[in-house]
Amino acid sequence: MTLDIRGSLKNTKISANRYVVLEELISNSIDSFLIRQHQDPLVRSLDVRVVAEVLTTSVVDGAQDLCISCTDNGCGLGEEQMEAFLTKDTSYKDDLSIAGIGKCKGAGRIQYFHHFERVGIRSTYQSDGKVLTRTLPLVAARKKIDRTDFTVSEGEAGDIGTTITLDTLKPGVRERFYRIDTPSEIFSAANMRRYMLVAFLQRLVSLKTELGQFSISFQTKNPHGRIETLTLTAADLPPVTEVKSVLVEERDPQAGSPLGSYANFTLSHYKLDASVFDLPRNAISFCAKSSPVQDITRRYLRTVSEQNRPLDGFHHIVLIESELLDRRVNEQRDGFEGIPNEIPTGDLFDEEKVSYAGIYDCIDPIIEAMVSPSGWSRDDVIADAAERFGVNPGMLADTDTRVVYGDNAKSVAERVLRKYQERIIADTAEIFDLREEIEKAEPHTANFRQKINELSWKYASSLKTFDMANLSQLVVRRAAIVEILALACKRQLAVQVVAEGVRRQDERVIHSIFFPMKRDSLETSDHDIWLLSEEYQYYDYIASDKPLSEIEWNDGEKLFDPGIDDELAATLRRRAEENGAMRPDIAIFDKEGSAIIIEFKAPGVSLDDHVGDLSEYAHLLAAKSNGRLKKFYGYLIGDTVAPLRMAGWTRFAAGHGYFRSTPLQDPETGRNLGELYAETLFFDDIVRRATKRIGVYRDKLQLDLSKK
């Protein structure tokens, strides 16, 4: 058996958690102890000793390096453990019927090699009545580890256990994690103990009987001989304050309909006296295998001061556990994969039946009852929303809107009205869907009258929603936007009257109606992209006439990776040189991996001359996104086209536009990059679609903004 270190580093991302190696060391020590107790059930207690030695590497700038060792009294690295250590995707622990040991893939130890130049092991174990010691010396730049790298010698029974030593931080890790906070600060005994109390609280509490009067000591050896030592023992563990279980209903990933089955989530709340427990902050986290993985404290405690200080004299720790979270935790143990934000997701390949939105809907009220700062009143906010905006408790109940800590009257009113707006749009769409079905029905059949009944009930319910929401303003505003777009497309706006010889700005005017130019959705939420499709305004990110290189993703991370794989390097370099300045008028991105490309052409410009633009944009975005984007929807919008030049395109049954769907393949390598669905649309069609969406409510208001 051989552990391929270089291959494992490629396939397992580095964790963003600075304490990840410490967590893995202690977690493995606990597992090893449980295995020893299972094999040899004597009365003993877990004993783990962590030593962090901080070294000064430069007298000039005070640069520091780090060496960490962790010693335990577990079972040691016997034959089965050795085989598992040398297997990247191991199932060793999965088959152990031992309480407290969770499933694993063996990816945790890869973080050792991500963070440190050298990894050494000294382990004493029992085998066939003998006591042996297995040693892996500290060697830098290992590419692989196999059995021949270990030496085996006779050992002492009193030494059974394992010491793992991690030495010399890698330069990239030192720059990324220790540029501001030094190793001596991060790995001080006090900080290690504080962090590990929270990280292992749930596991230590649940295993208190199995681990006995355990002791986990933290020692920091600082430069100049200063030593700091603190210990975490069984007596230090607080009792759990309360435990709540909640069932999250599963939904069909495609339709979003309830399935009648449920996923169970358990919330454990620890309310800790701040005068007894010296903790740096409150913590609310999604957990996997009884350990915090994803911190969600900011969702419930909005300010930094609330997160960091005790609330009414108590620190609060809320740990959320579920088999779903255990199954979906990523290899770096700093997040979860495969849990969608919403259901339905719109992705045919999504299979998860529980979304973050569904989880939060169920756990939010429970956590808000557990952790709520003083000085804020839900009743006061509800009363203020009713007085200032007319949003009464009945409307809150009708839209299933909860008032949570941090809300004010304005934010509550906005959420309620937005939900009514979405409901009205959905109702309107369904009305016209039914109308189209009615037109296809045969009047002399019973089905025709059934459709009439459905339409009348749907219309009546939508009017009730409309009246409750008092959304006349929305309809008036949207009707005005549609009329402005219609005038702009016909060059009838006052701003489009220009003197002879002055360059026309028709495309710029039309573009700005949909979305402000040279802006993105991080800078403005005031736009009218709904004119093209209602769902696009809810996408994660919209960029209007922005260079591709400026588009950001995930808290400042660039969406388009400048680094590309070797296979496409030469081709993409050439494309980048030729098209580096190219960018779509509007680009809309969804983190599920889809992109919408919108290109406007001024009145009179023939669309058939530019049908290749969409494909070229899609190729560039697919390739430069490094695999993040695979599904593309392209829209080329104008008012002129030569039908004879639209070979390969299918004409819409209604309207003058065309559509087609084509695979995106690299022209030089043939590699599949994704799929492009493209449409060429006329401005009149856009106006007609938008008018149709709001028509029923505009008629109710007897609103007509067009010029007679």
Band of residue 571 on the pLDDT scale cut at 50, 70, 90: very low
Ordered DSSP codes for 483-552: HHHHHHHTT-SGGG---TTSPP-HHHHHHHHHS-TTEETTT-----GGGT-GGGGGSSEEEES--GGG-E
pLDDT by residue (tens digit) across 49-58?
999 999 988 7
* pLDDT score, position 435: 53
Q: What Cα–Cα distance (Å) separates residue 352 from each residue in 219, 323, 535?
A: 44, 13, 22
Whole-prediction pTM: 0.55
Partnered with residue 127 across adjacent β-strands are 130
Band of residue 596 on the pLDDT scale cut at 50, 70, 90: confident
Query: Above 50 in pLDDT, residue 640?
Result: yes
Query: Above 60 in pLDDT, residue 45?
Result: yes
pLDDT by residue (tens digit) across 536-561?
766 777 878 766 666 666 666 666 65
Query: Above 70 in pLDDT, residue 88?
Result: yes
Q: What Cα–Cα distance (Å) separates residue 335 from each residue in 106, 248, 291, 331, 526?
A: 17, 20, 12, 9, 32
* pLDDT score, position 613: 82
Instruction: Over range 192-199, report the average pLDDT.
Output: 92
Query: Above 60 in pLDDT, residue 123?
Result: yes
Three-state secondary structure of 441-464? CCCCCHHHHHHHHHHHHHHHHHHH
pLDDT by residue (tens digit) across 651-689?
988 767 899 999 988 777 778 888 999 999 988 888 888
Percent of the chain with pLDDT over 70: 82
How many angstroms separate the CA atoms of 339 and 145, rounded? 35
Angle between helices 683-700 and 409-440 (to 10 degrees): 110
What the chain holds in terms of domains, given with CATH numbers, is 2-235 (3.30.565.10), 242-373 (no CATH), 502-686 (no CATH)
Helices (H), ranges, 222-328: 304-308, 323-328
Least confident of 117-121, 345-349, 617-621: 345-349
